[in-house]
Structure 1
Amino acid sequence: MMTTTFARWLQAASLTGVLSLMLGLSGCAAPPVASSSKTELPFDQAVAQATDGLVKQTQKGPAFLAKMGSKRSVVLDPMVDAGSAQQTAATQMLQDRVTERLNAKFETMEIMPFDSANLAKARYLLTGTMTRLSVDEPRSPLQINLALTELASGTVVAQSSAVARDEGLDHTPLPYYRDTPVPTKDRVIEGYVRTTATPPGQHADAYYLERLAAAPAIKEGTAHYNAQRYQDALAQYSAAGGGPTGEQLRVLNGIYLSSVKLGRTAEAEDAFGKIVAYGIANQQLGVKFLFNPNATTFWSETRISGPYTMWLREIARASADAKVCMDIVGHTSHTGPVAYNDQLSLQRARYIRQRLIDESTVLSDRTTPSGRGFRENIIGSGTDDAVDALDRRVEFKIVACS
């Protein structure tokens, strides 16, 4: 719904053209990354170091030594950026490079397609993340984390990392993540991120593993969406959502986006209502709004801003029904003067608050606006495009009602 027009906007927008709205106790920032003493390497060398380190650990582990006569079947849950919870061109490259090296150098490792049948019979699960070491420095180094988990026991049997220079890497989100109205970092993705950094011998994140059964359908739905096969995408997301572990933001987002692309307005509105309900129940929700450059009015193109009235109505209704109180905190990307960004972030927080009050007057006594400028960036690139859209957000932080 915002492909060609959105691309044209990205080329023309100024530093403050996009704002996203976040609801949560602590936003969607990644867990802090510990300072690494590892040598910074070119990307391909860092990938090779991390991949080789992972396999070397498996060659020493007793769980693997007992199976020396057979191939080690592995499924790979798609890799993500740990800060934004997005799949990007760079995380796709990471995943491809790791897979290529495993296939080329280690004949005992069999990387199987990530589908339900293979998940049921594979011995091991491979996960991986890319994490920027400092969001305050554009193009700061990236830490690559890889983990191999034994599916039967849920134990991480190998974990490795390396630090890559951010030279020539493309961090543009893939189409699903670019289009999604709601950032996807829920407890499932947080568990995925934790798993990739878990030391060998310890258990992978239980919440993530308990919901892994839905992941193959989510992966297929996202692949279909990225290829503009929206009917197929909707079928996969609906299949994932119909299972006992399918209530996840990625699924709800996928059903909403696919319904919009197929022109199914009623289904899309119902799906968005479920997104809001899920977010409030889990105290973590994001809804991205585009603003006109240097203004507090929504983007003028109705093909983009048309759904915003419905989004605001659903957020206001659900917030009022849940009787929650919220601090509304505005943020901007890391460009322009500090004072200007502080003021603009506050103005946009106030605007969102007023629009919600217009929908439900009871929110007047339950909401307080403030602005943080770019002090709490998630991406920190300062590129003012799709890459750092999450930095231009307003968080709704749940607080006790006085």
Structure 2
Amino acid sequence: MRQFIIGLCISLLVGGIVACSSKQQNFTTKYPIPFQSAINVLSNDLFTTVEAQQSTLDKLIKTQIVVDPFIDEASGNIVQASKDIEQALIQKSLGRGHNYDITSMTSQNIRDANYVMNGVIYSEPYRVPGLDDAVTYYRLASSIVDLASGKIVANTHAWISDLNLEYQPTPLYADSPLFIKDKRVESLIETARSPVGADANLEYLNTIETSALLAEAQLAYDREDYAKALELFTQASEKTDAQILKTYVGLYETNRQLDNMEAAKKALYDLLVVSINLNQKINLKLLFDVDSTDFIKDQALRDEYHIWLEQIVRYFRNNEQCMYVLGHSSNTGTAEYNENLSLARAQQIRTVLSQYFPAIMQRSKAMGKGFTENISGLGTDDARDAIDRRVEFRIVECADI
């Protein structure tokens, strides 16, 4: 009987009708459905779960829900699909006849919010009945957190049948020299995947106001209001809980866009220091020509790459540490080919670094990992698996070199 009700609920949602009883909550879609239908399932399940837990008095008071931007779980990026999801959720809430205000999260509205909604987009194999091989589809996982209690009050997952979501990173993430994945991102991922009744990740809760400020700064950057973005990123950098990758990526990129190059270089150096302190590594987004150890034929990017590498050299001049230069590749082609290509690219980066600082040759070792340490693993050779084509600088004991 429950399966029948859930199937009926999904069928109604696919048709654009929100008609599920609040008794059917926290289900996961059993099969991939179109993007907009998946948003319908997600929003209906989350909102009806919250409504079911509210007292009659609570329902008389305007409830404030803010949406923390959804992220790509593999890279930590906010992608265009994230923004599409956020806008769709806000639009879906408008016609429900409830006493909610649902808005994007800012440093102003987070203080008055009752709930925060967050989520992740990830890929997972789905075994289609009758087929031998599984098909990889996107899934959404989302939760709603009661900010007063710190508890997860709603959580759901939804499969998406669309194979080509808009996965281009939003401007700040596209421009960033590093993949912005750190403990702050991990705290959001854990919270988005936590079941109803669980405590939200403490790191996530304790830093939510700073996250809201950074989200607002990022939005200003994406709108090309670089002066406003710089003001907000600078404001964030003065907070003790904002010593994270996103803050210094924002300071670097906004100063670079405003042609404040000395300030940009300082912010980039600080970014490298923070990345090493937090993760013991630096994941640079160095793009190469296909089947080549040459950087991509984009002179503006090549010029910026040299700025990145100069700051890495500066770090190792100032610190008696050693590193592995690890080349990675996406999951296409043979294992042997990708191992050789990733090693050649790591060796090329090491050679370039030695032109600035010859001693780096004694304090580093190039290694090719091929696709053995893929993060995405999709093998699509586009924005969705860009994180797999990376060069990683991993701090190690000099005795290991």
What does 1:103-182 correspond to in 2, within 5 Å?
103-105=94-96, 107-134=98-125, 140-182=136-178
What does 1:4-153 correspond to in 2, within 5 Å?
38-61=30-53, 67-105=58-96, 107-134=98-125, 140-153=136-149
> 2:345 matched to which residue of 1?
348
> 2:192 matched to which residue of 1?
196
Answering whether residue 217 of structure 2 is matched by residue 217 of structure 1, we say no
Between the aligned partners of 2:332 and 2:149, the Cα distance in structure 1 is 47
Q: Are the aligned partners of 2:287 and 2:389 in contact in 1 as well (CA < 8 Å)?
A: no
After superposition, give the CA deviation of every residue in 1:221-247 in whole Å (9 maximum; x if it has no partner).
222222222222212211222223222
> 2:395 matched to which residue of 1?
398
Q: Are the aligned partners of 1:187 and 1:208 in contact in 2 as well (CA < 8 Å)?
A: no
Between the aligned partners of 2:356 and 2:57, the Cα distance in structure 1 is 63
> 1:33 matched to which residue of 2?
none
Between the aligned partners of 1:287 and 1:134, the Cα distance in structure 2 is 28
Q: 1:41 is paired with a residue of what secondary structure?
A: coil
> 2:287 matched to which residue of 1?
290
> 2:16 matched to which residue of 1?
none
Q: Are the aligned partners of 1:317 and 1:359 in contact in 2 as well (CA < 8 Å)?
A: no
Between the aligned partners of 2:375 and 2:56, the Cα distance in structure 1 is 42
TM-score (norm 2): 0.83
* Aligned amino acid, residue 183 of structure 1: F
Q: Are the aligned partners of 2:29 and 2:158 in contact in 1 as well (CA < 8 Å)?
A: no
Q: 2:286 is paired with a residue of what secondary structure?
A: strand
Answering whether residue 329 of structure 2 is matched by residue 332 of structure 1, we say yes
Runs of at least 5 residues in structure 1 that lack an aligned partner in the other structure = 1-35
Two-structure CA RMSD over aligned residues (Å): 2.5
Q: Are the aligned partners of 1:328 and 1:370 in contact in 2 as well (CA < 8 Å)?
A: yes
Structure 1 residues 37 and 54: alpha-carbon distance in aligned structure 2, compared to 1, 3 A threshold: closer
- The alpha carbon displacement at 1:296 in A equals 1.9
Q: Are the aligned partners of 1:85 and 1:184 in contact in 2 as well (CA < 8 Å)?
A: yes
- The alpha carbon displacement at 1:273 in A equals 0.5
After superposition, give the CA deviation of every residue in 1:134-173 in whole Å (9 maximum; x if it has no partner).
59x9972122111111112222111111111233422111
Between the aligned partners of 1:116 and 1:228, the Cα distance in structure 2 is 19
226, 244, 247: which one aligns with 1:230: 226
Deviates more, 1:119-128 or 1:374-383: 374-383
Deviates more, 1:70-79 or 1:317-326: 317-326
Between the aligned partners of 2:370 and 2:112, the Cα distance in structure 1 is 49
* Aligned amino acid, residue 193 of structure 1: I
Q: Are the aligned partners of 2:187 and 2:203 in contact in 1 as well (CA < 8 Å)?
A: yes
- The alpha carbon displacement at 1:372 in A equals 2.2
- Higher alpha-carbon Rg: 2
TM-score (norm 1): 0.83
Q: Are the aligned partners of 2:86 and 2:104 in contact in 1 as well (CA < 8 Å)?
A: no
- The alpha carbon displacement at 1:320 in A equals 5.2
Q: Are the aligned partners of 1:331 and 1:376 in contact in 2 as well (CA < 8 Å)?
A: yes
> 1:278 matched to which residue of 2?
274
- The alpha carbon displacement at 1:279 in A equals 0.8
Between the aligned partners of 1:156 and 1:318, the Cα distance in structure 2 is 42
> 2:364 matched to which residue of 1?
367
After superposition, give the CA deviation of every residue in 1:103-146 in whole Å (9 maximum; x if it has no partner).
222513321442222111111111111111159x9972122111
**Large movers: runs of 4+ above 6 Å:** none
> 1:261 matched to which residue of 2?
257
Q: Are the aligned partners of 1:126 and 1:148 in contact in 2 as well (CA < 8 Å)?
A: yes
Between the aligned partners of 2:104 and 2:29, the Cα distance in structure 1 is 35
Q: Are the aligned partners of 1:87 and 1:177 in contact in 2 as well (CA < 8 Å)?
A: yes
Deviates more, 1:106-115 or 1:158-167: 106-115
Deviates more, 1:52-61 or 1:71-80: 52-61
After superposition, give the CA deviation of every residue in 1:25-78 in whole Å (9 maximum; x if it has no partner).
xxxxxxxxxxx88322222222222222212322333x6566232232111111
Ranked by relative contact order (alpha carbons within 8 Å, sequence separation 6 or more), the top structure is 1
After superposition, give the CA deviation of every residue in 1:322-356 in whole Å (9 maximum; x if it has no partner).
43333332111233343322211011112222333
Between the aligned partners of 2:325 and 2:381, the Cα distance in structure 1 is 22
Q: Are the aligned partners of 2:142 and 2:156 in contact in 1 as well (CA < 8 Å)?
A: yes
237, 245, 266: which one aligns with 1:241: 237
Between the aligned partners of 1:354 and 1:308, the Cα distance in structure 2 is 14
Q: Are the aligned partners of 1:346 and 1:370 in contact in 2 as well (CA < 8 Å)?
A: yes
> 2:20 matched to which residue of 1?
none
Answering whether residue 366 of structure 2 is matched by residue 388 of structure 1, we say no
Between the aligned partners of 2:98 and 2:57, the Cα distance in structure 1 is 17
Q: Are the aligned partners of 1:115 and 1:216 in contact in 2 as well (CA < 8 Å)?
A: yes
Q: Are the aligned partners of 2:332 and 2:379 in contact in 1 as well (CA < 8 Å)?
A: yes
* Aligned amino acid, residue 202 of structure 2: A
Between the aligned partners of 2:201 and 2:110, the Cα distance in structure 1 is 17
> 2:13 matched to which residue of 1?
none
* Aligned amino acid, residue 52 of structure 1: N
Between the aligned partners of 1:196 and 1:320, the Cα distance in structure 2 is 41
Between the aligned partners of 1:350 and 1:162, the Cα distance in structure 2 is 43
